[in-house]
Each structure stands twice: as structure tokens, then as C-alpha cells.
Amino acid sequence: MTNTKYVSLTSLHAAERRVERELAFTATCKNDGRTRTWDFKKKSYADSQRPILEIFVWSLYKLRNKHGNKTRESIYDLSNRFFEFLEDVGVNSPDEIDSSLMNRFVSWLKKSRTSSYATNGGRVRSLRGVLEKMGDHPKINRQIRLPKNPFPKGTSLQSANTGYDNEEFRQILNTVVLALRENKRKYESSYEPRFHGDDPPLDGVAPYRPETGKYVMLASHDYRVWFFENRLKCKTPLQYSNVISVPGGHSWWYAIIRDYPHESYRTIEGFLEFIGVGPGYKPKFLGNQNPVKYITPWKKKDYVIWYFENKMNATPHGEKVLKERYREFRTAMREHYGGYKEFYKELNVWYEISTYDLAPYYLMLLIRTGLNPSTIQRLTIDCIRTDPLDGRRKYIDWEKFRSLKQSSTIPEEKADTDTWTIAIIERVIRLTKRIRNEGQKELWISNANRKRITKPYGDKAFAASVRRIFEKHPVYSSGNGERLNVTAAHIRPTIAWSEYLRTEDLQYLSQLLGHSKVTTTAEYLRRVDDPVFRTRRAIHSEAMLIGMTQGSKEAKEFVKEKFDTVKSKDHINGIYDGLLNHCKDPKTSPITGEKPGQFCSADSDVCLPCQNLVITPEDIKKHFCFLKFHEHLFSVGDISEQDLRKANEYKKSFWNSYILPKYPDIMLQDIEDSAKRDPCPEWDIVKYEESKK
């Protein structure tokens, strides 16, 4: 009996060999289930670096179940830098791939002048998994490890996403509100029928003759009377010879007596008698326009509207349905009205909805909730929940795919305005109901594509639709008056900062932004880089400053009672060493989301205002070394001025305001001199320069 387990393993190995041979593979995103093909044959180095590229693609394929398409796309692009490095150093054989080569790659990135320190740090983090996985390939078969934390503080050096100021945000909000009003009139107002259930409005339309299958003007009695009064000038008796001398007279004559006989007369004399020609005759149409205005009812708009309401049930259809079921309507639209799209637009009805049409709802939801744009993009139609504790309140249940994180917004009571958070989602659900396929759960869908197929759209479509809105309604900088490139990603920090200034409550803001830890919120605001936030983060009253001659009574007693602890500074005695400071009780972190008994994972900047902060003379030396090290990186061009400001400015401001003033100047001078003579290994400038050689 065949063992299916080994059949499966055989097929997996065969697939891996095929990936190496073809330098391409297809993978399904673990987040949204979409399938994409990744073809490395298109790379410029596919031939020159093929032996190593085969292993790189194999490694990426082996990790296919751990990555989403976003991560794979990033790795696909960043691979260019790795292979640029290989060509630069002349490496083209798998035998040369080892940990020392990866160290050289990191050093090579640090020397790069084309990207910032923080950007290169992000590149290493993105490539780490694939590069280390290459060591498992049979052609390498040795452990490969990249340096641990090769770009210290790289994430905190990322450029600040400062958002928009009050004036700029006011312009954005006004634009979104205006677009929502336009869409409400266009898409959300119900169509009011004018002729539903009535007889077709055929006044002024030429009669239809079944025998010919056509609408014939000469068959109209009113037209015959009009011709007699305006062309024949009401002259009697009528002789054939006189009538045919008038343009159209011959056709008029024979329409009465032969071609289209009237039920009340069949001769010229009978026609004259029927209309009462004689003494005292009062003309009906003399001097007026032809009463038959339309040779076909399709030229009469009221008839077309009647047809739309009664035959099409006031439902706008696209090309495919019109061609199959409403051919006459489709032909009339093309011949007389410039196409059915223009006709629908005039009636204020729609048959397709685009990403651009839904963009105002997306932006208002972003403004109202402050959620991550990618989280809002992945909402579903069943995301609205009722608060179990208060039936009047509702909230949004959301999921962030890339981090596999689930949470919800703060419950809200129903508001009178239709821009209430829940109301926005309900409006989108109603709006897309007409085009939604059975079982389709995605909130944001569109059928404005070539095949008119209803499907969800991706982040690029969201970005393009937002760009179109602000191309139509520009937003200008309050600083220099230049036109701003408004993006959804910059709105979120604007909301965060505005709400923090309003409430000064990090717990509330953390819930609003969907952060599981307050430390994440604090770091998020720190990158906003506003001096007001810095002044509001003073040192905590319970923080310990060890070794100072000035300070609180509690600090002096702590030093006196636990002198051995102060000397040793180890976790056994209750003081834990950190990157730039110490902590007296990291297992009872006050930060929401940290479990009791586990070590606090807070960033060192977040530690500064923490109640568990402990500063020792050793930490002061670290502080001076850290500042000097980054000043040196800037002086030799390894980081930009912005990177330097991100690394040093906040720390310098906090320490100069709250920590250093509590120590005697002579003590600080001695520590600073020591930092210059014997710097900490992590920030030793001499060692750093040697590593670059």
C-alpha cells in the first residue's frame, strides 16, 4: 500500500526542484487568500548570479506559508540590494555563502549613501528570514546567522509621520464631507418613478403601423390636418394636380386614400368633411409646428423613461444585460442619448460603482475611527456588533491580517448624523447591495472594471481613489501654500495627536488606535515629534536616581538600605540592566497588555517616564556614549541629520530637563570624561570605524 505521507513529501521535493529550475513559483497569501506568481527570471542578475539566486528563490518558497503577499513583494524588491552586494564583492558561488558574508553585507549597507540608516535597518529585518533559511539548502548546508541587532535603534530613527496641522486637516475634512454629500445625492437618494403603471406617453409620436412594423408620420391624423392647414393653406376644393405641386403632397394624398386609411374616412372628401372644412372652419394647427415631433418613441425622453420604469423595473443594467434583454433600449441609447451611462447619470441612477465613488466613505471612516488604513480596507459586511452591556451602543469588530491581531473599536451610541462611524459602514453596505454577489463578505467592492465583475479591490486602488479626490479638491499647506499630497497613512497620526491633546489619556488613545500595548501608542506619538508631547512626559515621582547627592529622601534610603544592590546592579538583587537605563521591577510593568511575571518589553524611550525607572552613574555614561556615537555617525556621513535628530534630540531633552540637573556638575564631568576615554563597547567609535574596514 502506498504511503500518502511519502507521496506528499516526494511531490514537495519535486516542487522545490521545479522552483529552482524555473526561478519562479506561485503562492497564496496567508492573509487574504489571493494568489500571485513571483518570477525571478526577470531580474537583471538572473544569469550572472543564477547558482545563488536558485537557493534564494528556494528559501523564499520554503517560507511561503509564513509570508503574505505584502512581505513577499517587499522581499522580491529588496533582493536587488543583496545581489548588488554579491556582484560588488565578486561572490557568485553558493560555497561562499556563510555568516561572515552576511556580516559583510550588513557593513556594506551601513556604508551605503543611497539610503538612510533606518531604511537599511528595515531592509536587513525584511531579508533576515530568507537569508538565514538559505543555510538549510543542501548546496550550503551550514548555519547562517545575520548579526543580532545590526542597526541599533533603527526603528526609532524612522522618519516621523507627522500628519497634518489643524488648518490642513480642516481642508481635508471639508473635502470629504463635500464628496459624501455629492455621493449621497448621486448614489443614496431613491429614484422617484414618474410613469410607473401608466400608459406609454406617446403624444407627439408618429403612429405605429403593424403592417410595416414602423412608425409613420403620414398615418397621423393630426399631421394630415397640419399639412392641410400649413402646406395647402386650407384651400378647397382639393385637386390632385394642385396637391402634388406642394412638397410631400403626393405622399399625403395617397396616405389618405390608399396607404394608411383612417377608420372614419378613406377619401379626400371624407377627410375634409371629418375635420369640418367649410364656412366658419377654425384651423387647429395653422402657424404651429408639426404636432408629430417624434418619428419614433425612442426619441421622446418621456417614453424612454417610461420604458426604463415599466419594462426594466427602474433597474440600471450594463452592456451585457442590455444586449441580451433590452436591445431596443440599448440601440436608442447609442443613437439618441450618447450612451446609457449618460442617460443613467441624467436620471441620477447608477449601474456601477467605482473605488473612487467609495473613497469618501473610506476616508470618513478613517477620520472617525483612527484605525490603520489596512484594517479599514479589510472590514467585512458583518463587522458591526452590538455592545452586550448596552444595546444602544455598537462597535466595529476588526482584524489586522498581517499581525494576526483582532480587536474592536470603542462602542458608540447612535448619533443623529449620517457620518457616525456605524452609519458610514451601514451606508456602504446599502450602497453596494445591488452589485454584491451572494456570499461576498468584503465591505469594499466594485464592479467598475472591464468585465463588470463585482470584486474587492486592493490597497493600490484605495490609494489611487484617494489621490483622485484630492486632485479634484486640492489641499494646500498652511506653511508654504504648496499643494499637499494627501494620503490615508498621514491622516491616522493626525487623529492620534488631536485626540491626545484633547484627552491626554494614553489608555483611551491606545484603544482608539487599536494598539494592544500602551508602549506602542507612546512610541507612535513619539514619532509624531511634537515638543508639546515631550513636555508632558516628565520623570515619574517614583523613579530612582542612584548616586546623586541631591534628590528625594526615598532614593537616599534605597541606596543606604541596599548598598550591595546599588554596587552589583544585577537581577538577583532587584535591579535589571537595560540598554540605556535600569529597571527596579520589570515583572510588574504598569503598561497595559504586559502579563504579570513576564519581563516588560518597553522601548528605552518609553522607560524614561516609567515609575520603575532606575538611573545609575553607569547609565549616565551610557547616555554620553550614545549621544557621542550618533554625533560621530552624522559627522562621517553614515546617518542623515534627520536620523541624528531622531536618535538624540528626545533623549537629550529629557535627560537635560529631568535627570542630569539632579547630579552635581563635577560628577557629570568625570563621567563624561570617562565616556570619552573608555566608551561602552556598544558605542565605541574606534571599534565601529575598524569594523568598516
Tell me the HSE value of 321 on the side-chain side, using a 13 A CA sphere. Answer: 9
Backbone φ and ψ of 39, nearest 5°: -110, 110
200 DSSP β-pair partners: none
- pLDDT (average), residues 17-36: 86
Beta carbons of 249 and 231 less than 8 angstroms apart:
yes
Q: Count CB neighbours of 214 within 10 A.
A: 13
The pairing of beta strand 35-39 with beta strand 384-386: unpaired
The pairing of beta strand 24-28 with beta strand 35-39: antiparallel
Q: How high does pLDDT run on average in the chain?
A: 80
Residue 531 predicted with pLDDT over 50:
no
Tell me the HSE value of 605 on the side-chain side, using a 13 A CA sphere. Answer: 26
- pLDDT (average), residues 214-229: 93
Q: How confident is the model at residue 158 (pLDDT cuts 50, 70, 90)?
A: low
26: three-class secondary structure by DSSP: strand
Beta carbons of 37 and 24 less than 8 angstroms apart:
yes
What cell was used for 255? Answer: 396616405
Question: Distance (Å, rounded) from C-alpha 325 to C-alpha 421?
Answer: 40
Counting residues of the chain whose pLDDT is more than 90, the rounded percentage is 31
Residue 5 predicted with pLDDT over 50:
no
Backbone φ and ψ of 25, nearest 5°: -160, 160
Q: Which amino acid is at 504?
A: E
pLDDT the model gives residue 129: 92
Residue 293 predicted with pLDDT over 90:
yes
Beta carbons of 447 and 352 less than 8 angstroms apart:
yes
**Which among 395, 373, 375, 376 has a CA at the least distance from the CA of 386?**
395
* 208-214, long-range: CB < 8 A, 24+ apart: 209/260
pLDDT the model gives residue 511: 66
The pairing of beta strand 445-446 with beta strand 455-456: antiparallel
213-217, 225-229, 296-300, 413-417, range with the lowest pLDDT: 413-417
pLDDT the model gives residue 601: 57
Residue 581 predicted with pLDDT over 90:
no
pLDDT the model gives residue 519: 63
What cell was used for 215? Answer: 412608425
Q: How confident is the model at residue 304 (pLDDT cuts 50, 70, 90)?
A: very high
Residue 520 predicted with pLDDT over 90:
no
Question: Distance (Å, rounded) from C-alpha 483 to C-alpha 477?
Answer: 6
Question: Distance (Å, rounded) from C-alpha 596 to C-alpha 80?
Answer: 44
Nearest 5 degrees, angle CA 598-CA 510-CA 650? 85
- pLDDT (average), residues 660-684: 85
173-182, 349-358, 395-404, 627-636, range with the lowest pLDDT: 395-404
- pLDDT (average), residues 273-296: 91
Residue 571 predicted with pLDDT over 50:
no
Question: Distance (Å, rounded) from C-alpha 208 to C-alpha 295?
Answer: 10
Q: Per mean pLDDT, which of 22-36, 161-175, 280-294 is the most reliable?
A: 280-294
What is 85-146 written as a DSSP string? HHHHHT--SGGG-SHHHHHHHHHHHHH-SSS-HHHHHHHHHHHHHHHHHGGGSTTT-S---P
Q: Which amino acid is at 600?
A: C
Q: For residue 612, give every residue at least 6 positions away whose Cβ sits within 8 Å of its Cβ, in sequence order, or none.
A: 542, 543, 583, 584, 585, 586, 588, 589, 590, 600
**Which among 164, 146, 73, 61 has a CA at the least distance from the CA of 110?**
146
**pLDDT tens digit string along 93-135?**
999 999 999 999 998 988 887 777 778 888 888 999 999 999 9
pLDDT the model gives residue 237: 86
Residue 555 predicted with pLDDT over 50:
no
- pLDDT (average), residues 530-548: 49
Q: Count CB neighbours of 614 within 10 A.
A: 26
**pLDDT tens digit string along 359-414?**
999 998 888 887 788 888 888 888 888 877 777 777 777 665 444 444 444 445 45
Q: Please provide the distance, in angstroms rounded to a whole number, between the alpha carbons at the two ends of the chain.
A: 62
397 DSSP β-pair partners: 408
Backbone φ and ψ of 301, nearest 5°: -65, -35
pLDDT the model gives residue 563: 42
262: three-class secondary structure by DSSP: strand
200-214, 427-441, 628-642, range with the lowest pLDDT: 628-642
Beta carbons of 609 and 653 less than 8 angstroms apart:
no
Q: For residue 63, give every residue at least 6 positions away whose Cβ sits within 8 Å of its Cβ, in sequence order, or none.
A: 129, 130, 133
Number of H helices, E strands in the chain: 29, 14
Using the structure block, give the residue that is written with the C-alpha cell 376644393.
237
Using the structure block, give the residue that is written with the C-alpha cell 486592493.
458
**Which among 459, 453, 365, 429 has a CA at the least distance from the CA of 29?**
459
> Is the N-terminal amide bond of 261 cis, ω within 30° of 0?
no
568: three-class secondary structure by DSSP: helix
- pLDDT (average), residues 281-301: 92
Name the packing angle between helices 685-692 and 99-111 (round to 10°). 110
pLDDT the model gives residue 12: 83
Residue 530 predicted with pLDDT over 60:
no
158-172, 327-341, 566-580, range with the lowest pLDDT: 566-580
Burial class (CB in 10 A: 0-12, 13-18, 19+), 374: middle
Q: How confident is the model at residue 308 (pLDDT cuts 50, 70, 90)?
A: very high
Tell me the HSE value of 247 on the side-chain side, using a 13 A CA sphere. Answer: 1
More confident residue, 136 or 552: 136
386: three-class secondary structure by DSSP: strand
Sheet (strand 544-545) strand order: 544-545, 613-615, 582-583, 576-577
Q: How confident is the model at residue 567 (pLDDT cuts 50, 70, 90)?
A: very low
Tell me the HSE value of 202 on the side-chain side, using a 13 A CA sphere. Answer: 11
Beta carbons of 290 and 223 less than 8 angstroms apart:
yes
User: CA distances (Å), 234 to each of 15, 175, 186, 222, 260, in order?
Assistant: 93, 65, 52, 14, 21
Q: How confident is the model at residue 351 (pLDDT cuts 50, 70, 90)?
A: confident
Question: Distance (Å, rounded) from C-alpha 452 to C-alpha 350?
Answer: 13
- pLDDT (average), residues 409-427: 63
More confident residue, 415 or 152: 152
pLDDT the model gives residue 592: 46
Residue 564 predicted with pLDDT over 60:
no
Q: Which amino acid is at 53?
A: L
More confident residue, 20 or 417: 20
